[in-house]
Amino acid sequence: MRLIGKAGKAAAVAAIAALALTACGRADTGTTAGASGEAAGFAQDSSIGVALPKKTSENWVLAEKLFNDGLNESGFKPTVQFANNGVAEQQNQISAMIANGSKVIIVGALDGSQLGTQLQQAKDAGATIIAYDRLLLNTENVDYYVAYDNFKVGQLQGQALLDGMQAKKASGPYNIELFAGSPDDANAKVFFDGAMEVLQPKIDDGTLKVVSGQTTFEKAVTQDWKAENAQRRMDNLLTGSYSSETLDGVLSPNDTLARAVITSVKSAGKSIPVITGQDSELESVKSILAGEQYSTINKDTRKLVEHAITMVKDLQSGKTPEINDDKSYDNGSKVVPAYLLEPVIVTAENVKTAYTDDPVLGPLTK
Ligand code: BGC
């Protein structure tokens, strides 16, 4: 959750000061002095923990392999684990990573607000904590955040929805429905808020009509990012609100849910609305090529993992990792120093050029 869009300057300054302190603290605790007397971070063959959430989309599955390969190649000893059975499993995994002496723990949280105790223990043990893709909430014990700019993802989705509907029908009103991700995922609200920043003014001026009246995040959520939950909700929305109305557009937060909505609409015998997505999943890129799903977001997982590993290498050699944002992501306890990557919107217009350096999607979209 991007709790505050623009934190005050004082907070940003405090964050940088805190960062400097953290760096000093680290040098005092888990570090050894290099030959030159310069602080070296930690041994090159150290254990590194990577705690991932559930396999709710392809990007997480790819991240597992990339972390294992990349960390091994750099000489570290990685432990990369999913928490498919829930929060308690992820808590236990992080505790085990602390116990095995992990110097850095990278966390893609299942529920970013439920790891406070483990993160405190990790800090006490001298580990550095990097929030990966999803922010860790309400804790001081997170050193860095590396992610695609999630608020921007939402804004791109909202704008794509408008553009797509306008291209089909020059003027409104347009009938739309809104879907959000899983409420325990800290990103879900950020995506939704980003999209609503674009869509809300158009709802207010009557250009957009949410026929079901379900406009809040709480109404729009999809528990566990599960396709069947989105499909069931869409079935109900169609029955309840679209027996005589046309559905022009659907805000979907990711590709898995976009395809579930398309399945629902097709089985109701309706035409496919303009629908957004995210993740550039293979089936959704095919769907864009086939003229069904309207858009997705390119957030190349390889680049994100690579950056997280660069941070680990910097910490290992005693360098402070580079950040490029010190104001956007307030986790409720601090503004977390972040390295944000730029998400890219993909529609039929640019699908043939968007993935040129992707080993799977590149050849498919040529
Ligand atoms: C990620 C998305 C993904 C979703 C469901 C989010 O936290 O940022 O890319 O679609 O989780 O797995």
Measured distance CA(123)–CA(127) in Å, rounded: 5
Dist. CA 328–CA 338, nearest whole Å = 8
**Does residue 287 sit in the same domain as residue 258?**
yes
Q: Are residues 111 and 248 in the same domain?
A: no
Ligand 1 atom closest to Cα of residue 59: 9
Least Cα distance to 52 among 13, 77, 89, 22 occurs for: 89
Q: Are residues 287 and 159 in the same domain?
A: yes
| Cβ(233) – ligand 1 distance below 6 Å | no
Q: Is residue 165 part of a domain?
A: yes
Task: Give yes or no: residues 33 and 119 share one domain.
Answer: yes
Cis check for the bond before 173: say yes or no (omega within 30 of 0): yes
Q: Based on the fold, state whether residues 30 and 135 are members of the same structural domain.
A: yes
Domain holding 19, by residue range, is 10-142+300-342
What pLDDT score was predicted for residue 332?
Answer: 97
Residue 3 lies in a domain: no
Supply the pLDDT for residue 6.
Answer: 33
1 assigned to some structural domain: no
pLDDT of residue 104: 98
Ligand 1: residue of 145, 187, 255 to mutate (most ligand atoms within 8 A of CB) is 187
Q: Looking at the structure, do residues 242 and 332 belong to the same domain, yes or no?
A: no
Report the pLDDT value the prediction gives residue 40, as an integer from 0 to 100: 62
CATH of the domain at 353: 3.40.50.2300
Q: How far apart are CA 34 and CA 298, in angstroms?
A: 41
CA 31 – ligand 1 centroid, Å: 34
Q: Are both 109 and 214 inside the same structural domain?
A: no
Query: Which residue matches tokens 């097709």?
Result: 266
Q: How many CA atoms lie within 13 A of 207 on its CB side?
A: 14
Establish if 359 belongs to a structural domain.
yes
User: For residue 225, which atom of ligand 1 is closest to its CA?
Assistant: 5
The segments of the chain whose pLDDT lies below 50 read 1, 4-39
State residue 232 phi and psi, 5-degree precision: -65, -40
If asked whether residues 282 and 196 sit together in one domain, one would say: yes
If one counts the domains in the chain, the total is 2
Q: Please report which helix (H) or strand (E) contains residue 94, including its range.
A: helix 87-99
Strand pairing category for 32-33 and 39-40: antiparallel
* 282 and 335 inside one domain: no
Looking at residue 41, the DSSP 8-state letter turns out to be: -
Question: In ligand 1, which atom is closest to the CA atom of 148?
Answer: 8
The two tokens of residue 223 are 């528990």
- pLDDT at residue number 366: 87
